[in-house]
Structure 1
């Protein structure tokens, strides 16, 4: 094949235009799944790389690199499917929903679930673990109260990602700080400027939205009936709350997510057999194919018929396909060709920070993985930030604002597919209600444009608006 040629901007745009066009037609017109468009995009990207001089073995290796990056996520996705099945069968989810219905009023539910998810994610450093446990129960409580699933999912996502972003235990938080050589706690402190206002805005909106349900679109009698159906089919006990608490404590004590989730699965199976009096055969069936409930109450049946390893195979397959596409874009220089051109348009800090945020979102959109949306822009912009006298914490914050938070809005991103598989709501549905996730990047761009909360390496003239805290 000869020596690799430099990929031009026009060549780099070809696989993106093809993928996005096919994706739009497939999802909007045909109402299909995103798998095939991503495969078509992968083939197109491979052809562009081959035309640029890459050997097939190099292109193939780039796909494998993308898949390897997603393997930890794939394992967690499968374990979350099993934990949902075991916790439903063990009565854990029913217990959380039952007590949630007793304690939380519909008008304050969105605010409450957002705060709870924020606290849990802050404690354990994982938005996925929070959504896969507390979030699942929150979806059930919201459904029983007659609150639209998209609203509940948005509140869960906002709280979970706020806590994850601000937690010193979070992988993405440590990744952004580490790649930019920023002190972890200085990085977290600098994120307060954009993230706290985003949460405040979200809570205000959730309070207004919740007022629509204060009168009770679902009567107290309906809620009581739902609780009664759960009591008839599960043994409800506050002791069962120790199961999710155990997982939260394990992760908070820095036990890796995978063994912590496995322990949660084992505890769920034990509860299904010993507490609920079910058989091991049914418990294992719930792990594989999900728990199945047939009570005659449609809402309760839909709520508790879910989970299991098989329920996550759509998500797993989409993750693998997306990462083969993202791997080619990153490792063959296609993405670099686009971002380097964007960089030429920025001449100041006011332009560089928004450019970084947009680039991180663009990477989420094209490479389908939030880790890549942090890794690639950090590599490309690190030296530029130093050259322009900007402290590295500006870059680390921009990476999180544009990368970590916006990953949920891309249906074929690993975060988007995880949420769909776990909460059962698509990105197109919950996007308007995931307020923290879109408010924070907007706030960060506005602040940069105004020159506020920009930290410099050296003292700037007094006329410059800056914040070095």
Structure 2
């Protein structure tokens, strides 16, 4: 077998596993409506085969897979905590309180503006755009259409609000994935996204304000809203004091408390609210942390929104993260990711063009792999070294992944997100796309800021030294593990 340094990975060979994975993904997701796990494993097998034929030992290929998984471990731990916090906040009545007060804001002329804000608040609270669109979004569609507002406009406002919350919520799986695989502190990642996402939301809200003025004379059918409000009041203790729980997490973020302790405290506070305020017994509250919250209210919309959460609900995301990182880890180990990036870097030479290329690559992955998670995971591994070589802080990469990946997925009709929205809101992506204003303004803002050099953060000398120390220690641990020894310091 050759030394790694002597093995050249041609670009055309490097893209074969990617093309095979994309083709398998298209067939599996679009034709058979399956999960992306198996296509990723098929691409992994092709990458491993090509690497072995070029001279890589199986032990080295296997180590690449393990390295990929190790990189994902911080994200996986936070995703598990997120499942627990969702369950505890649902059981504690915290989410119910947010929805209750949000639904009281509905007025005809401000309907598009209001439904966007409500969807944003709910998704910030639960971390899932799909759950928000499938519940509050469906209700909003019915109310909006009854006012004579075009379905495409309503859907666009619902999607903009839902994806703002999905992108900015510390409970969102995509937010945690982007932070985790790039090695960025979760709350640093969220704060860095403010610069591109808040302007996008502001543009969307202004547009919805002016679009909605033409419907000011419409009447509101409050029956559906009142039914939801009544159901929430009869099944939960609704109190503005419960809003202190998410406020406490926000304060901890502002005080730079690390993500895991902050989320763990959020879990505990939600659990206490479940037992002491909502009157749940201790056993049910404990089980909720693993199995998720379960309730039967007789209102299908409320049941769909509230029956979720828990560690078990995150296992799909955890398993997909592991499989995707095995794929990326092997492609990185045998030089495929570097061969692909080298071609891109011939054009993207500056820091700004590199960030813009990352945004574009995430959108391209959405359009080809048809899966939102892959648009974060794959470019995240592809560009990690390029960002490091330019001494760019990892939060630039994590933000670009979300600006190009998370936010654009609903705009692709054959992406899992586009398919879900079509089935849920009954509006085709090509129809709602002009009104999903946040979803296309954010990537444009991100690319413009990159080329203008605005809010591009570099690592300090201290951060570079700390990163090099961690990498050197990890290399020692990897070498020791391969030889059966133990690193003690």
Q: TM-score, normalised by structure 2?
A: 0.68
Who is 2:476 aligned against?
none
Which residue in 2 is equivalent to 1:3? 3
Distance 1:310 1:214, change over 3 A: farther
- Tell me the TM-score normalised to structure 1 length: 0.71
Count of matched residue pairs: 414
Mapping 1:108-147, distance limit 5 Å = 108-113=113-118, 132=127, 141-146=136-141
| CA displacement, residues 185-210 of structure 1 (integer Å, 9 cap, x when unaligned) | xx979x96x76764444334544676
Aligned: 1:259 with 2:246: no
- What does 1:55-66 align with in structure 2 at a 5 Å threshold? 55-66=57-68
Measured after TM superposition, the shift of residue 295 of structure 1 is: 2.0
Q: In structure 1, what is the Cα distance between the partners aligned to 2:180 and 2:293?
A: 36
Q: Structure 2 matches for 1:275-294, cutoff 5 A?
A: 275-294=277-296
Contact 2:297-2:303 within 8 A present in 1 as well: yes
Distance 1:438 1:73, change over 3 A: farther
- The alpha-carbon distance between structure 1 residues 271 and 402, as it changes in their structure 2 partners (threshold 3 A), is closer
Matches of 2:192 and 2:309 in 1, distance apart?
A: 35
Q: Which residue of 2 aligns with 1:123?
A: none
1:126-172 CA-partner distances (Å, limit 9, x unpaired) = xx9766399978986555544778853532333664799xxxxx998
Q: Structure 2 CA distance, aligned partners of 1:33 and 1:173?
A: 23
Unaligned runs of 5+ in 2: 143-153, 171-175, 456-489
Task: Return closer, same or farther for 1:372/1:131 CA change in 2, 3 Å cut-off.
Answer: farther
Q: Is the 8 A contact 1:339 1:359 kept in 2?
A: no
TM-superposed deviation, 1:454? 8.8
Most deviating of 95-104 and 229-238: 95-104
**Structure 1 residues 304 and 352: alpha-carbon distance in aligned structure 2, compared to 1, 3 A threshold:** closer
Single out whichever of 59-68 and 402-411 deviates more from structure 2: 402-411
How big is the shift at 1:19?
Answer: 0.1
Conservation of the 8 A alpha-carbon contact between 2:71 and 2:181: no
Name the structure 2 match of 1:154. 160
Once residues 64 and 436 of structure 1 are traced to their aligned partners in structure 2, the CA distance between those partners, rounded to angstroms, is 37
Structure 2 distance, partners of 1:213, 1:89, is: 37
Does the 8 A contact of 2:87 with 2:308 survive in 1?
yes
Distance 1:217 1:407, change over 3 A: farther
Unaligned runs of 5+ in 1: 118-127, 165-169, 179-183, 386-391, 456-469
What does 1:274-353 align with in structure 2 at a 5 Å threshold?
274-345=276-347
> CA shift at 1:112, angstroms?
2.7
Counterpart selection for 1:36 from 25, 31, 38: 38
Q: Deviation per CA, 1:213-238: give whole Å up to 9, x if none.
A: 97889721221121111111111112
User: 2:466: which partner in 1?
Assistant: none
Deviations 1:319-361 (A, max 9, x none): 1111111112223210111121233356899977754543565
Equivalents in 2 of 1:347, 1:133: separation in Å?
36
Task: Give distance in 2, aligned partners of 1:318 and 1:239.
Answer: 38
Instruction: State the alpha-carbon separation in 1 of the partners of residues 70 and 215 from structure 2.
Output: 45
Distance 1:297 1:196 in 2: 34
Corresponding residue for residue 462 of structure 1: none
Equivalent in the alignment of 1:406: 404
Equivalence for 1:120: none
What SS does structure 2 have at the residue aligned with 1:103? coil
Query: 1:277 is paired with a residue of what secondary structure?
Result: coil
2:165 and 2:97 map into 1 onto residues whose CA distance is 22
Q: Is the 8 A contact 1:87 1:93 kept in 2?
A: yes
How far 1:439 moved relative to its partner?
2.8
Q: 1:107 aligns with which of 95, 104, 112?
A: 112
